[in-house]
Amino acid sequence: MNQTQQSPKIVVVGAGWAGLGATYQLVQQGYDVTLLEAGGHPGGLVAGWKTAQGRSVEAGIHGFWYPYRNIFALVKQLGLNPFTDWTRSSQYSPAGLEVESPIFQQEPRLPSPLGTFLYTRFKRLFLKKYEVDAVE
């Protein structure tokens, strides 16, 4: 941009990964950017903590896989290290452990749907018969 021109003003709504990445790239290009976030912290739906035993817990299903090169490039550019170590992903219901997903980088590479199906350990499959009332 020309030094005599005023930088265009842009508002980015949401400080999740997309909003943070967009804001960073726009600022790098010389735009005057205002980033708005309704929540109490940046990160959007991403939230995590460690238990008293040191186990990583994430709210919801969030994953950053190796193909997400844009996210890894952004945190590297910013000098951040916001990620926990690679761990198995477990999903629980009120009945207990339901599904355990492996660390896929440790498994032989297979096409995504096939690898996900073969390497994921389902503890219980919900094969429940649902009855539908007849519509008269």
Domain boundaries, the chain: 7-45+56-84, 86-127
pLDDT at residue 37 is higher than 60: yes
pLDDT for 99:
84
Whole-prediction pTM value? 0.56
pLDDT at residue 41 is higher than 70: yes
Taking the C-alpha atoms of residue 134 and residue 136, their distance in angstroms, rounded to an integer, is 6
Here the tokens at position 48 are 């995590």
pLDDT for 60:
58
48 within 8 A of 58, measured Cβ to Cβ: yes
pLDDT at residue 33 is higher than 90: yes
